[in-house]
Copies of this chain bind each other. A is one copy, B any other.
Amino acid sequence: MSIERNPEHTRTRILEAAQEEIYENGYQGMRIEAILQKTQLAKGALYHYFPNKLALGYAVVDEILLEHVKENWAEFSSKYPNPLTAIQQLFLWKADLYKNEVCFKGCPLNNLNQEMASIDKGFHERLENIMESIYDSIVTSLEQGQQQGLVRQDINPGKIAMFIMASYQGIIGVAKCMQAPQLLTDLFGTLNDYIDTLRPSNR
């Protein structure tokens, strides 16, 4: 009996297994053997698609993490015309999402960043690009909000966008450390309170 072959799907399966492994053990802790076990593939198959471990790691960032981030932001920014509301809603959704087990594992992007940014240039460049793309999205959407009178005129979109990103990362990180889902809700609540202060005062 013949075994079906589906190159595209096989490659994706490897990538997803690698992402899971990295998420759980970090890139340095990710084991090729574990990916083979998860995918039930032989070593030759993996090395047919990726020349080495590093290339696989890069591919996970480029093809999984980056795409994931893009989709998320696209969804919320199109759903909520008010940029501040979009950000707040995204955070509320994240808070709920991370509330379960995910809370203990942290943010995939942040984890990888802390682990690899200062060790490997390739990882650093990729992760920096992702951050930049998130940053740009927030900035332009804040600027548009200012033009539409939805965001205070006296704030600096660049600085605020960066601060919001940093706080978000920090919140996930602290929650991971403390392993308390309630904390996550509180922290995102405080952050959303802060974001509320960026709205124009009602006159």
Q: Show the binding face of A for B, using Cβ within 8 Å.
A: 24-26, 28-29, 104-106, 110-111, 113-115, 117-119, 124, 127-128, 131-132, 159-160, 162-163, 165-171, 173-174, 176-179, 183, 186-187, 189-191, 194, 197
Expressed in whole angstroms, the minimum distance between the Cβ of A34 and any Cβ of chain B is: 13
A-B pairs with beta carbons under 8 Å apart, 23 shown: A24-B119, A26-B26, A26-B28, A104-B118, A113-B176, A114-B114, A114-B115, A114-B176, A128-B177, A131-B174, A162-B174, A162-B186, A163-B167, A163-B187, A166-B171, A166-B187, A168-B170, A169-B170, A169-B174, A170-B171, A173-B173, A194-B194, A197-B197
Q: In the complex the two chains form, what is the Cα distance from A19 to B177 in whole Å? A: 20
Contact A26 B119 (CB under 8 A): yes
Expressed in whole angstroms, the minimum distance between the Cβ of A112 and any Cβ of chain B is: 9
Expressed in whole angstroms, the minimum distance between the Cβ of A109 and any Cβ of chain B is: 9
